[in-house]
Amino acid sequence: MNIRQLLSDKVQTAMIAAGIPEECGPVVAPAKKAGFGDYQANGAMAAAKRMGTNPRELAAKIVEQLDKGEMIEKAEIAGPGFINLHLSEQWLADRLEAAERDSRLNISAEGEPQTVVIDYSHPNLAKEMHVGHLRSTIIGDALARLLEFQGHKVVRQNHMGDWGTQFGMLLAHLSDKLENNDAEVALADLEVFYREAKIRFDDEEGFDDRARDYVVKLQSGDPECLKLWQQFIDISISHSEEIYDKLNVTLKRSDVYGESQYNEDLPVLVDELLEKGIAVRDQGAVVVFLEEMADKEGNPSPMIIQKKGGGYLYSTTDLAAIRYRANQLHADRILYVVDARQSLHLQQAFTAARKAGFLPESVSLEHCAFGTMMGDDGKPFKTRTGGTVKLAALLDEAIERAQKLVAEKNPELDAEACAEIGRKVGIGAVKYADLSKTRTNDYVFNWDSMLSFEGNTAPYLQYAYTRVRSIFRRAGVEPAELTGAIRLQTAEERTLAIKLCQFGEVLQQVARDTYPHILCTYLYDLASAYMAFYEVCPVLKEGVSEEDRQSRLRLCDLVARTLATGLDLLGIEVMEKM
Ligand code: ARG
């Protein structure tokens, strides 16, 4: 159910009946200020301008034609031609009751489910997974959960960097190490392993030649070399999986479909593009010149797909990936949760793929770009000594800090409970801090603000959830035992009810626009509306009538369930106590 949509349809029908051309939209949105109804329809102004008539009079005509049905209590004209829409109390109560009875809070699955491929996380296995991949993993996983909840078929694609020249040096080093150790031991600390390999590559006589030799062997499919590579990849993936587990991210090993998977298709693809005349040979390389992306002077944007020596590039792999996703995975929509700094690369790949006819016109290619994670000093996030921050260490620190806070706040908790709650709060805080910001902006990573129990943070929302749940413990009832009707008497109950009813439309918006912060803002507003309600509407206090108590408990239950569902879609866990 989408209140905005329902109202839009009603107003649009009234507009047409009032003789307004169909292209004029109803422009319905939630009212910005209290006292102006619950929703506003602002389409009369633009329509009047177009028709050369008086906007207030036109608004009056629309109201006259409006079929209020059971949904709308009254419609009033305000200002130059706004229409303020007041929802009926009974209608709202009916919606809430339906939501309460349903395990999905009465949010129906999308009528036309799509196959959505989401490319996210995608670390480079020749390097330690670092904070740069954190944002992609967190945002991508939230979108995957949400689209799945909406009823879409989500295909997760972890486009890992598991191929390329860097592997030469790593495999040369690994083969030496295996003389004394097995692969698990040799690769126990990848960071150390990379560093050792790099030092040898830079300093050791003859090692660079061996490394290059390994690249050639790897690319020509030498079985010994492939076996070594496979060992390296398997262990690297396990290291990533530890991070995914810790982060409560849904990516599985079966979602890994790395760059190496496209190897065989690369020469085929380049030949095909040459044949079609889309790519040309240029100074020994193969290049696609994209007039579609020409600069101001009219120079086409060059995209190299094969290097002079014959090597393939990141861009070649991405072209192959697009065609695989569209034709093999049958994607309707492909989301790339990738750093904004790769925007040119992706635009080129998208444009070239379309030009080459690699995908049906209808398939949508979307770069869900995100900004850089910054430190408190306003520079890209680094360790104090300027190194890249290891993800595992960062997450451990989050958990540790949260455990300390939880123990301070609630000294009665035993060590085990404290550890578990600390884990959920710490990981939740890191994820929520990222998700709650507009993803396209850079964002500052700050422990104190993300772990604060005040403001738009995970701990605040998790705490709000525990507060609602504690009411049921104190009342000694289970939500399923409540029988009374939902009544919306005070302004606070009404505001809370409308917020609750908007959950579905918020999810639709996030699914469409891929901005998870919209869901965060909604949950924060919901928690705030709940706090305001709780201030003026006592639930368990003496003197509250049984009818009010039942109705308010039911509202409480809906708040708890909406918070838990919303946080779950963001990949954040809740707890009964904290
Ligand atoms: N592995 C790449 C990196 O770390 C990101 C891959 C993004 N996905 C893609 N299809 N290009 O920069």
236 C-beta closer than 6 A to ligand 1: no
For helices 223-247 and 207-219, the axis angle rounded to 10 degrees is 90
Q: How far apart are CA 221 and CA 199, in angstroms?
A: 27
In a 13 Å sphere around the CA of 50, the CA atoms on its Cβ side amount to: 12
Lowest mean per-residue pLDDT among 126-135, 407-416, 423-432, 498-507? 126-135
45 CA to centre of ligand 1 in angstroms: 47
Q: Supply the pLDDT for residue 550.
A: 95
* 83 and 170 part of one domain: no
Residue 302 pLDDT > 80? yes
Q: Is 119 in the pocket of ligand 1 (CB under 6 A)?
A: yes
369 lines ligand 1 (CB under 6 A): no
The confidence band for 11, taking pLDDT boundaries of 50, 70 and 90, is very high
Ligand 1 nearest atom to the CA of residue 161, by list position: 1
Give residue-wise pLDDT tens across range 375-398.
988 888 887 777 778 888 899 999
Alpha carbon of 115 to ligand 1 centroid (Å): 21
Percent over 90 (pLDDT), the chain: 88
Same domain for 465 and 552, yes or no, is yes
Asked whether residue 283 carries a pLDDT value surpassing 80, the answer given is yes
In a domain, 208, yes or no: yes
Q: Which residues contact 416 (CB under 8 A, 6 or more apart)?
A: none
**Spatial CA neighbour of 425 closest among 370, 391, 465, 481:** 465
Residues 72 and 171 in one domain: no
Tell me how far CA of residue 478 lies from CA of 24, 203, 361, 487, 543, in angstroms.
49, 69, 52, 19, 21
Instruction: Say how far apart CA 550 and CA 557 lie, in whole Å.
Output: 11
Can you count the helices (H) and strands (E) in the chain? 21, 13
Residue 249: per-residue pLDDT: 98
318 lines ligand 1 (CB under 6 A): yes
Phi, psi for 67 (deg, rounded to 5): -90, 100
124 Cα nearest atom in ligand 1: 1
- Per the structure, the complete domain to which residue 465 belongs is given by 458-569
How far is 190 from 179, CA to CA, in rounded Å? 18
Q: Which amino acid is at 328?
A: Q
Give the model confidence (pLDDT) of 136-174 as tens digits. 999 999 999 999 999 999 999 999 999 988 899 999 999
- Minimum-distance ligand 1 atom for the alpha carbon of 133: 4
What's the rounded Cα separation, in Å, for the pair 400 and 407? 11
DSSP string covering 324-361, please? HHHHTS--SEEEE--BGGGHHHHHHHHHHHHHTT-S-T
Question: Ligand 1 within 6 A of 190 CB?
Answer: no
Whether 178 and 75 map to the same domain: the answer is no
Cα–Cα distances (Å) from 69 to 75, 324, 422, in that order, read: 12, 49, 50
Within its chain, how far is the Cα of 142 from the centroid? 4
Band of pLDDT at residue 131, cut at 50, 70 and 90: confident
What are the Cα distances from residue 143, in Å, to 157, 229, 515, 525? 13, 32, 8, 21
Q: How far is the CA of 499 from the centre of ligand 1 (A)?
A: 38
* Rounded average pLDDT over 6-17: 96
- 557: domain CATH number? 1.10.730.10
User: Is the model's pLDDT at 543 over the cut of 90?
Assistant: yes
Number of folded domains that form the chain: 3
SS3 call for 312: strand
Cα(338) to centroid(ligand 1), Å: 7
Pairwise CA distance, residues 1 & 499, whole Å = 13
pLDDT of residue 197: 94
pLDDT at position 132, please?
78
Q: What is the pLDDT of residue 563?
A: 98
Q: Is 159 in the pocket of ligand 1 (CB under 6 A)?
A: yes
Q: Which pLDDT belongs to residue 379?
A: 86
- Asked if the structure places residue 109 within a domain, the reply is no
Exposed e or buried b for every residue in 55-87, given b needs 16+ CB within 10 A? bbebbbbbbebbeeeebbbebebeeebbbbbbb
Q: Is the CB of 124 under 6 A from ligand 1?
A: yes
Residue 207: both structure tokens together: 């090692």
Tokens of 480: 């399923």
Kindly report the number of other CB atoms within 10 A of residue 517's CB atom: 19
Dihedral sign computed on CA atoms, order 464, 469, 475, 481: positive
Q: What is the mean pLDDT of the chain?
A: 95
d(CA 145, CA 567): 11
Q: What element of type H or E holds 119?
A: strand 115-119
Please indicate, yes or no, if residue 440 is contained in any of the structural domains: no
Tell which one of 122, 130, 335 to mutate to probe ligand 1, the residue whose CB is within 8 A of the most ligand atoms: 122
Single out the residue in 230, 250, 270 at which a domain terminates. 250
DSSP per-residue codes, 364-407:
EEEE--B--EE-TTSSB---TTSPPPBHHHHHHHHHHHHHHHHH
User: Tokens at residue 101, please?
Assistant: 């009875």
Q: Is 140 in the pocket of ligand 1 (CB under 6 A)?
A: no
Please give the pLDDT value at position 116: 98
Q: What is the mean pLDDT of residues 510-526?
A: 98
321 lines ligand 1 (CB under 6 A): yes
Tokens of 327: 């034709």
Q: Which residue has the tokens 């004209």?
A: 77
pLDDT at 315 over 80: yes
pLDDT for position 186 = 87
CA distance 557 to 478: 9
Gap between the Cα atoms of 24 and 8, Å rounded: 12
The Cα–Cα gap between 114 and 136 comes to 22
Q: Which of 87, 112, 134 is the last residue of a domain?
A: 87
- The yes-or-no verdict on residue 189 having pLDDT over 90 is no
Q: Please check whether residue 431 lies inside any domain of the structure.
A: no
Domain assignment of residue 122, yes or no: no
103-113 confidence digits (pLDDT tens): 999 998 888 99
- Of 59, 87, 115, at which residue does a domain stop? 87
CATH of the domain at 68: 3.30.1360.70
pLDDT at position 392 is 87
- Domain assignment present for residue 555? The answer is yes
Closest CA to 156 of 244, 235, 260: 244
The answer to whether 300 touches 291, Cβ cutoff 8 Å, is yes
Query: Quick check: 537 pLDDT over 90?
Result: yes
Phi and psi angles of residue 48, each rounded to the nearest 5 degrees, phi first = -65, -40
Each residue's pLDDT tens digit, 428-455: 999 999 999 999 999 899 999 999 999 9
Residue 153 lies in a domain: no
Beta bridge partners of 117: 155, 334
Given this model, what pLDDT does residue 111 score? 85
Residue 575 inside a domain? The answer is no
Instruction: Tell me the Ramachandran region of residue 386: left when phi exceeds 0, alpha when psi lies from -120 to 50, beta otherwise.
Output: left
Alpha helices in 178-290 (DSSP H): 183-186, 190-203, 207-219, 223-247, 265-275
User: Atom 5 of ligand 1 has which residue's CA nearest to it?
Assistant: 122
Cα distance between residue 537 and residue 486, in whole Å: 14
Spatial neighbors of 102 by CB under 8 A, at least 6 apart, are: none
Residue 161 CA to ligand 1 centre (angstroms): 7
Q: Which two tokens mark 49?
A: 């301008």
